[in-house]
Amino acid sequence: MSAVATPPEIRPTDFLAIDHLLSDEERDIRDTVRAFVRDRVVPYVGEWFEEATIPLELAKDLGRLGVLGMHLDGYGCAGASATAYGLACLELEAGDSGVRSLVSVQGSLAMYAIHRWGSEEQKREWLPRMAAGEALGCFGLTEPDSGSDPGSMRTRARRDGEDWVLHGQKMWITNGSVAEVAVVWARTDDGVRGFLVPKGTKGFTTQDIHRKLSLRASVTSELLLDDVRLPADAVLPEVSSLKGPLSCLNEARYGIVWGAAGAARACFESALEYSKERVQFGKPIASFQIQQQKLATMALEVNRATLLALHLGRMKDEGRLRPEHVSMGKLGNVNAALEVARTARQVLGANGVTLEYPVIRHMNNLESVVTYEGTADVHALVIGGALTGISAFR
Ligand code: TGC
Ligand code: FAD
């Protein structure tokens, strides 16, 4: 006979009582990050978005919060579980995708690259400062003519005596101009290798990309490498193939699976609240069946996305998560979040097009999120390849 338990109350903001599936420690971490976002992000992010800026002090605050590289072990990192890291990403992206991006690029791309593929000296030099938010990192893979197909990159590194000389260009690089260290991937005679390029190195310059209508609370830059001379120990010694950067992408994509659920939740909650307050035809718009259907569909998508993220998080903590699983999570959750954001925006009527409410900001941000870290098409093709055994890429 199954145990008799009292069914939980229905809570509109946690319909399926997913909270119950978390440990006390996971709930504590989630609540701490949620409070940080409520106090340090939500009141200001509309203005950051409008002004296309993000305050750099936020990086140090995020370091103090302990979320930079929080899923890595040692070197000042918290060594948290994948699920705890995911919950943090969810809460950060409920604030803004730009803030989650800052944390993803720092922890899952730049720090992870050094942690996974770097030498002991490189780890000691960079990771503690990066975990504290004292040094930002960026991750240069994409080039003007090489986006979904990083294997076609043109940036080259050649040996000159003991030194390396890097030449090329990287495009769309988050945190590019504000990073103390750029992890730059380049073609060499031995395959694709990663290089640590400190800010200020001769021949290394950056230019910010302006006029973005998405991810405005995030710095995006072009990196120019004009015969940049680096010492022998600037190369990440442990990898010399595309597997290097692609392994880092798995980590960041995993965070996006959770983050997208957070952006969706923020849009849903905004629409729910608005629909109960906004009166038309003498009644709150929440009383109209069409609006209730929209709210029900959004609640379903938010719960489904969160459960998918949690499932992948548990698999990652058990060491059972494959890149193809991450592709399914990223594809499904970002598409779901975009749908929720677009529906929520309609519920808000004209108010939905202003920055007074978070919805259109999330909606515009999600247009970047669906493109970066592998477009929706790329992830569909990764899943298709796994289903059929036939690669659609080559
Ligand atoms: P392919 O021939 O399949 O593989 C080349 C080598 O890489 C290995 N590999 C992986 N390793 C780890 N994780 C993965 N997910 C991997 N996928 C492949 C593979 O085993 C092989 O290793 P080896 O040792 O035999 O050399 O590669 P391909 O050239 O056919 O490409 C496959 C494809 C299309 C899936 C890949 O190129 C891809 O994912 N393209 C999308 C590019 C992308 O996502 N760029 C993102 C740039 S960073 C960014 O957007 C940051 S946004 C800021 C933020 O996150 O907030
Ligand atoms: P393309 O690859 O040119 O794709 C154009 C279209 O063609 C897409 O719809 C795509 O799905 C489709 N397509 C491509 N190949 C196929 C195929 N085989 N089959 C079917 N359709 C296909 N990159 C970094 O390296 N580091 C960063 O920090 C970073 N930050 C970013 C921040 C922002 C705000 C943005 C917008 C991008 C960032 N990127 C970064 C770049 C991002 O990873 C790329 O934009 C992404 O990989 C897609 O490349 P692309 O824009 O060149 O599009």
Statement to judge: residues 251 and 371 lie in one domain: yes
Statement to judge: residues 284 and 227 lie in one domain: no
Q: How far apart are CA 108 and CA 218, in angstroms?
A: 16
What would the pLDDT profile of 364-378 be if each residue is shown by its tens digit?
999 999 999 999 999
> Given a cut of 60, is residue 389 above it in pLDDT?
yes
Query: Would residue 176 count as lying in a domain?
Result: yes
Q: If pLDDT is split at 50, 70 and 90, which confidence band does 1 have?
A: low
Statement to judge: residues 330 and 198 lie in one domain: no
| CATH at residue 163 | 2.40.110.10
Query: Would residue 312 count as lying in a domain?
Result: yes
How far apart, in Å, are the Cα atoms of 45 and each of 38, 49, 50, 54, 283?
11, 6, 8, 8, 32
Query: Would residue 4 count as lying in a domain?
Result: no
Rounded average pLDDT over 160-167: 98
Write the DSSP symbol of residue 239.
-
Q: How far apart are CA 179 and CA 289, in angstroms?
A: 50
Check if 155 has its Cβ closer than 6 Å to any atom of ligand 2: no
Q: Which residue's structure tokens are 């499932």?
A: 311
Nearest-ligand number for the alpha carbon of 219:
2
Query: Would residue 74 count as lying in a domain?
Result: yes
Q: How far is the CA of 122 from the centre of ligand 1 (A)?
A: 24
Statement to judge: residues 249 and 232 lie in one domain: no
Statement to judge: residues 172 and 82 lie in one domain: no
Statement to judge: residues 358 and 287 lie in one domain: yes
Domain span at residue 310? 244-388
> Given a cut of 70, is residue 20 above it in pLDDT?
yes
Residue among 111, 220, 361, 372 whose CB has most ligand 2 atoms within 8 A, to mutate: 372
Q: What is the pTM of this model?
A: 0.98
Question: Residues 357, 91, 61, CA angle at the centre, nearest 5°?
Answer: 100
- Give the sign of the dihedral formed by CA 88, CA 272, CA 217, CA 138: positive
Nearest-ligand number for the alpha carbon of 215:
2
> Percent of the chain having pLDDT more than 70?
99
* 3-state class (DSSP) for residue 252: helix
What would the pLDDT profile of 62-106 be if each residue is shown by its tens digit?
999 999 999 999 999 999 999 999 999 999 999 999 999 999 999
> Given a cut of 90, is residue 18 above it in pLDDT?
yes
Rounded average pLDDT over 160-165: 98
Statement to judge: residues 258 and 357 lie in one domain: yes
Query: Would residue 62 count as lying in a domain?
Result: yes
What would the pLDDT profile of 214-238 be if each residue is shown by its tens digit?
999 999 999 999 999 999 999 999 9
Q: How far apart are CA 3 and CA 49, in angstroms?
A: 50
Q: How far apart are CA 147 and CA 224, in angstroms?
A: 16
What would the pLDDT profile of 309-329 be if each residue is shown by its tens digit?
999 999 999 999 999 999 999
Q: Which residue's structure tokens are 């690029």?
A: 105
| CATH at residue 30 | 1.10.540.10
Quick one: which atom of ligand 2 is closest to the CA of 174? 28
Query: Would residue 162 count as lying in a domain?
Result: yes
> Given a cut of 60, is residue 344 above it in pLDDT?
yes
> What's the pLDDT at 299?
98
Check if 169 has its Cβ closer than 6 Å to any atom of ligand 2: no
> Given a cut of 80, is residue 3 above it in pLDDT?
no
Query: Would residue 8 count as lying in a domain?
Result: no
Statement to judge: residues 287 and 321 lie in one domain: yes
Averaged pLDDT score across all residues of the chain: 98
Nearest residue to 108 via CA among 262, 259, 248: 248
Check if 368 has its Cβ closer than 6 Å to any atom of ligand 2: yes
Query: Would residue 29 count as lying in a domain?
Result: yes
What would the pLDDT profile of 21-49 be if each residue is shown by its tens digit?
999 999 999 999 999 999 999 999 999 99
Q: If pLDDT is split at 50, 70 and 90, which confidence band does 5 have?
A: confident
Statement to judge: residues 124 and 141 lie in one domain: no
Check if 143 has its Cβ closer than 6 Å to any atom of ligand 1: no
Nearest residue to 22 via CA among 298, 363, 313: 313
Residue among 49, 148, 366 whose CB has most ligand 2 atoms within 8 A, to mutate: 148
- The structural domain count of the chain equals 3
> What's the pLDDT at 249?
98
> What's the pLDDT at 380?
98
Residues, the chain, total? 394
| CATH at residue 311 | 1.20.140.10
> Given a cut of 80, is residue 201 above it in pLDDT?
yes
Statement to judge: residues 50 and 160 lie in one domain: no
Nearest-ligand number for the alpha carbon of 89:
1
Check if 224 has its Cβ closer than 6 Å to any atom of ligand 1: no
Q: If pLDDT is split at 50, 70 and 90, which confidence band does 2 have?
A: low
What would the pLDDT profile of 265-294 be if each residue is shown by its tens digit?
999 999 999 999 999 999 999 999 999 999
Q: Which of the listed residues 240, 255, 272 is the one where a domain comes to its end?
A: 240
Q: How far apart are CA 267 and CA 127, in angstroms?
A: 35
Residue with the smallest CA separation from ligand 1 atom 11 is 243
Q: Which of the listed residues 103, 131, 159 is the one where a domain comes to its end?
A: 131
For residues 84 and 70, the answer to whether their CB atoms sit within 8 Å is yes
Check if 150 has its Cβ closer than 6 Å to any atom of ligand 1: yes
The question of whether 373 is a catalytic residue gets the answer: yes
Rounded average pLDDT over 119-140: 98
- The token pair at 59 is 């990086």
Statement to judge: residues 369 and 356 lie in one domain: yes
Q: Which of the listed residues 99, 131, 163 is the one where a domain comes to its end?
A: 131
Q: If pLDDT is split at 50, 70 and 90, which confidence band does 4 have?
A: confident
Statement to judge: residues 371 and 266 lie in one domain: yes
Q: Which residue's structure tokens are 């890149």?
A: 323
